[in-house]
Amino acid sequence: MSTNDERPGFYFHEKTLWFSAGEAVLVLPPDGWLQPGGSHADSPEPKRRLRSLMEVSGLAAHFDIVAAPAAAEDDLRLVHSAGYLSRFKALSDAAGGAVHPTAPFAAGSYEIAALSAGQAMAAVFDVATGRRRRAYAVSRPSGHHCLPDMPMGFCHFANVAIAVRRAQRAGLAKVVVLDWDVHHGNGTQACFYDDGSVLTLSLHQEGCFPPGASGAMGETGRGAGVGANVNIPLWPGSGHEVYLHAFDHIAVPAIRAFAPDMIVVVNGLDANGVDPLARMLAHSETFRAMTRGIGLLADELCGGRLAIIQEGGYAESAVPFCGHAVLEELAGVSTAVEDPFLELMREQQPSTAFNAAHVAHLQQHPRYRPVGPAGSSSHGLEAVAAKPNAAAQTMLAPA
């Protein structure tokens, strides 16, 4: 890799697509009334199709594409206990299985999960140490539900937490981890809950996963970490407007107040309107706008240092277009790709009354900040127009 390469890094290892959660019907093993023969919701297709779309659109040429090595055991031990690692490895070396019922895996998954963590780790490390300004990684299996001692929700290693700890060992001080995956980033929250050096924020569907109270507004950190955890639970059915309002008025001011040295995004794309594992109505322009906002914030606060790690997202139709929008924005280019689902998603947005009621609810959040007349506390994402984006440098023809 050339250190003069201004392109963002794209960290991806083909073998991460080989991870298998085994046979399931959506997320449950075939049993009882569930006819065998289904496939688990965590299929490789959404990520494979995004990678493929990048080639077809020409966007891939705007990234320095890297297959990073697997995380070493010493790296995994920055977050995980030796007991968990040996238990996972033993099952993986045998026939596969599950340490937790929500995270089944096939034989050989330990090594693939270490590769997944390795992509996130390299992306964060290379930005943190100044080798590049921006980076994107595809992690599969995902990581943000994984606890230090227990996998959960398709997540086997805490990819982003490992990456942040590794970068902190190399000198990085204050880090923001912004998680816009539709499910609560409970694992990342747990890894940093009593640590004031990492501000964790999670924008998620209220009570979706882990089911119930996880991700409540009142979970704000512990000890030295008090105030460094911000949960923004959103009502089922929330769409573009509510997402951007919460982003602008809660996430942005909290990140500004924290003054990070680097921003890491957990880019779950499962708040899209057709995802099988959530009930939200975001679309590709929502993800584009949030990416633009976080990029501007990174430029303002921390020399542009930004790493985006893709994890969740289960709709093989929508995820490629949501991810492509994020990548276009990150690279500052626009391609000829048009999201064919966008108009339908726009027509299905929640009502004005829903949005007004939800905004009034968000105003009760302790970290909510109003936007001044000049928009001084916000990037005003609610007013951001769809593509072509302001940062677009190049119009690409499809290959």
Q: Which residues bind Zn ion (CB under 5 A)?
A: 181, 183, 268, 270, 312
Nearer to Zn ion (CB atom), residue 46 or residue 312: 312
> How many CB atoms sit inside 10 A of residue 81's CB?
14
**Beta strands per DSSP E along the chain:** 9-11, 64-66, 96-98, 104-106, 134-138, 175-179, 198-205, 229-234, 262-267, 306-310, 334-335, 395-396
100 given a catalytic annotation: no
22: left (phi over 0), alpha (psi -120 to 50) or beta: left
Inter-residue contact 290 to 306 (CB < 8 Å): no
CA-wise closest residue to 158 among 179, 187, 136, 137? 187
Q: Which two tokens stand for residue 345?
A: 């998603």
Nearer to Zn ion (CB atom), residue 260 or residue 312: 312
Shortest distance, position 307 Cβ to Zn ion, whole Å:
18
Q: Which of 145, 204, 245, 249 is catalytic?
A: 145
Residue indicated by tokens 């940093």: 192
Shortest distance, position 277 Cβ to Zn ion, whole Å:
7
Nearer to Zn ion (CB atom), residue 62 or residue 183: 183
Inter-residue contact 260 to 174 (CB < 8 Å): yes
Nearer to Zn ion (CB atom), residue 241 or residue 270: 270
Shortest distance, position 140 Cβ to Zn ion, whole Å:
12
Shortest distance, position 246 Cβ to Zn ion, whole Å:
17
Q: Which two tokens stand for residue 247?
A: 């982003």
Residue number of the CB closest to Zn ion reads 312
Q: Tell me the catalytic residues.
A: 145
